[in-house]
Amino acid sequence: MGQGIHEYWAHVDLDRIPNIVVPPPGPESEAWHTRCTKYFKGLSGQVKLFPVAFESGHGCVLRDVDGNQYIDFSSGIYVTTLGHCHPKVTEAVQKAAATLQNAHDFTTPWKTRLVEKLAEILPGDLTGFQFYDSGTTAVEAGLRVLRAASGQHEMISCFYDYHGKTYGGVSLGHIRSSVYGPTRAPGFHMVPRPDVYRPMWTKADGSIDTDKYIDFYETYLSKGTAGQVAGFVLEPIQGWGGSVMPPDDFFPKLRKLCDKHGILLMIDEVLTSMSRTGKWLCMEHWDVVPDIVTMGKGFGNGFPVTCVAVREPYKESFESISASSSYGGNPMACAAALACIEAIEEEQLNERSMHLGELALDRMKKMVDDHAIVGDVRTKGCLMGIELVKDKRTKQPFDEAGKMVYQKAFTKGLAWIPAGHILRMSPPVVMEDEVLLKGLEIIDEAIGETAQELGY
């Protein structure tokens, strides 16, 4: 049992995880899925690839309606960071739900304690807060704060970032859909961002040249915008893009560029905050304090609560953007978020997340050596990725292999996230070492079988 992990997880039977009793998706899953999808449409790619119906979850284990038990390497796609049904979070939500379920944006003790705690744990002078019920809603509010605080209107984001599915979020990101029309929203620009494995600009020794990216941004600000840039908006680590990590010098240099030009820096940490990468905010890995931050997913460990945090000089901007919302900051949401923060502190889960990331990286590096189709592996705490390629020299993406590995590992009892040729993993930070290694062993086996079937 890892240091600090709650005794709640101590009864997990490591010899029976995973436990596949019926080849999945089993008959009960198929029956429930058929009934549901008669009416429910618009499923994610991961469900279409593996339409299993889940019944319950406990810690790092998921159980489907056929009785199969899976190791959870998804956390409900980066959400249940503290594992399923964490007792502290469950108790807090139950207590709030039995006391006061909503009071619009009136002050409550739960909200007061939460904002005081956030001001205590977040870096720098991030002391202004507003709460919402989804990551996309928080991003949209963050954009309104950017415009109000800067007096400008243009936005710059990066290729392959993901910021939600509303018009503003889609205009910031890679998603394309005919329902939004043929163009992004006016004033939204996109630029490349550093990818250590697939660099656009390199130095003489072949390593990534971060300065070339910053130089390009300088040129783009001058030549490609109307000179009314409110802010740069980025993910610290790209999630949907494939757990893509920046070089360590990127964000400090971007912070200096923004300060030089009087541009605000907004970081979308809906996916990466609250212990996912081993810090309260991922940006703490590079000692950079953003002007605006969005937090979500693991912020409530499954309860729909998100947050926009802003630095002290800009927090009055909330007053001018009609910031309140019907569900944001309701007592149940604030109770869940506060319980998550307290659990992370009490169980030392930031440290636990970092430990699991280091353990995983050591094991995943062996996959690079052992398999011709594994081009790159990376971790930052419990945010992990494996990149599959047809050729390690050309780095040509191997989407077919990604789909096969995902399905094979799921069949063996690993619930996780597909992303084309990049395999994404986000296990709960309460996971035991042995369970993490067992999950990685399943992935290793699935990669080996896939490579053999595809002639590698």
- CB neighbour list of residue 255: distance below 8 Å, 6 or more residues apart: 265, 288
Q: Are residues 160 and 110 in the same domain?
A: yes
- CB neighbour list of residue 22: distance below 8 Å, 6 or more residues apart: 66, 67, 68
Q: Are residues 394 and 313 in the same domain?
A: no
The 10s digit of each residue's pLDDT in 158-200 is 999 999 988 899 899 876 666 666 678 899 999 999 999 999 9
Tell me, yes or no, whether 287 lies in a domain: yes
The 10s digit of each residue's pLDDT in 71-92 is 999 999 999 999 999 999 999 9
CATH number for the domain including 322? 3.40.640.10
In three-state secondary structure terms, 84 is: strand
The 10s digit of each residue's pLDDT in 282-322 is 999 999 999 999 999 999 999 999 999 999 999 999 999 98
Tell me, yes or no, whether 100 lies in a domain: yes
Tell me, yes or no, whether 418 lies in a domain: yes
* Single-letter amino acid, residue 258: C
Residue that is last in its domain, among 346, 374, 395: 346
Residue that is last in its domain, among 327, 346, 365: 346
Domain count, the chain: 2
Q: Quote the CA–CA distance of 43 and 406 in Å, as a whole number.
A: 17
Residue 217 belongs to what H/E stretch? helix 210-223
Helical segments of 262-376, H only? 331-346, 349-370
Q: Are residues 112 and 231 in the same domain?
A: yes
Q: Are residues 139 and 269 in the same domain?
A: yes
CATH number for the domain including 364? 3.90.1150.10
Tell me, yes or no, whether 422 lies in a domain: yes
Residue that is last in its domain, among 281, 315, 346: 346
Q: Are residues 259 and 323 in the same domain?
A: yes
With contact defined as beta carbons under 8 Å apart, do 219 and 135 qualify? no
Tell me, yes or no, whether 1 lies in a domain: no
pLDDT, greater one: 165 or 419: 165
Q: Are residues 353 and 308 in the same domain?
A: no
The 10s digit of each residue's pLDDT in 343-358 is 999 999 999 999 999 9
Q: Are residues 341 and 369 in the same domain?
A: no
What range defines the domain where residue 429 resides?
7-78+349-453
Q: Are residues 38 and 177 in the same domain?
A: no
Tell me, yes or no, whether 390 lies in a domain: yes
Tell me, yes or no, whether 2 lies in a domain: no
What is the pLDDT confidence band of residue 424, given thresholds at 50, 70 and 90? Answer: very high
Beta strands in 35-180 (DSSP E): 54-58, 61-64, 69-72, 126-132, 154-158
CA distances from 253 to 210, 288, 421, 429, 449 (A): 8, 10, 30, 30, 43
Q: Quote the CA–CA distance of 196 and 189 in Å, as a whole number.
A: 22
Q: Are residues 280 and 392 in the same domain?
A: no
Q: Are residues 100 and 63 in the same domain?
A: no
Q: Are residues 279 and 208 in the same domain?
A: yes
With contact defined as beta carbons under 8 Å apart, do 60 and 427 qualify? yes
Q: Are residues 34 and 174 in the same domain?
A: no
